[in-house]
Amino acid sequence: MSEATAHNGNLEHHFIDAEQQKDSAKIGMWLFLLTEILTFGGLFVAYTIFRSLNPEMFFNAHKFLDTELGAFNTIVLITSSLTMALAIQSLQVNKPKLAYRYLLATFIFAATFLVVKYFEYSHKFHLGQLPGRFYTFEGVEGTNPHIFFGIYFMMTGLHGIHVIIGMGLILWLAIKTRKLQFSPDYYTPVENVGLFWHLVDLIWIFLFPLFYLIG
Amino acid sequence: MTTKNHIIPVKNYLLITAALFVLTVVTVAVSFVDLGGFNVVVALAVASVKATLVALFFMHLWYDNKLYMLIFVIAIVILAVFIIIIMFDVMTRDDIYQFAQSLTGLLT
Q: Please answer yes or no on whether B71 and A30 come within 8 Å at the CB atom.
A: yes
When pLDDT is averaged across residues B13-40 and rounded to a whole number, the result is 93
**Interface test mutation site (partner B, options A205, A207, A212, max chain B beta carbons within 10 A):** A205
Burial class (CB in 10 A: 0-12, 13-18, 19+), A207: buried
When pLDDT is averaged across residues B11-35 and rounded to a whole number, the result is 94
**Residue A37: which residues within 8 A CB-CB, separation 6 or more?**
A199, B75, B76, B79
C-alpha A129, offset from chain centre: 24
User: Beta-strand (E) ranges in chain B?
Assistant: none
Q: Please answer yes or no on whether B24 and A74 come within 8 Å at the CB atom.
A: yes
> So what's the pLDDT on residue A137?
77
List A183's β-bridge partners, or say none: A186
> So what's the pLDDT on residue B10?
93
Q: Please answer yes or no on whether B68 and A48 come within 8 Å at the CB atom.
A: no
**Interface test mutation site (partner A, options B4, B7, B17, max chain A beta carbons within 10 A):** B17
pLDDT tens-digit series, residues B28-85 = 999 998 888 888 999 999 999 999 999 999 999 999 999 999 999 999 999 999 999 9
**Residue B60: which residues within 8 A CB-CB, separation 6 or more?**
A191, B8
Tell me the CA distances in angstroms from A164 to A9, A70, A152, A153, one per residue in order. Answer: 31, 18, 18, 16
> So what's the pLDDT on residue B86?
94
Residue B32 is classified by DSSP as: T
Note down pLDDT in tens along chain A; length 215 residues.
344 344 567 778 888 888 899 999 999 999 999 999 999 999 999 999 999 988 888 888 888 899 999 999 999 999 999 999 999 999 999 999 999 999 999 999 999 999 999 999 999 888 888 777 777 777 666 677 888 999 999 999 999 999 999 999 999 999 999 999 999 999 999 999 999 999 999 999 999 999 999 87
Q: Please answer yes or no on whether A92 and B7 come within 8 Å at the CB atom.
A: yes
Residues A181, A176: Cα–Cα separation, whole Å? 6
CA closest to B52 among chain A residues: A202
Q: Which of A111, A103, A100 shows the shortest CA–CA distance to A82?
A: A103
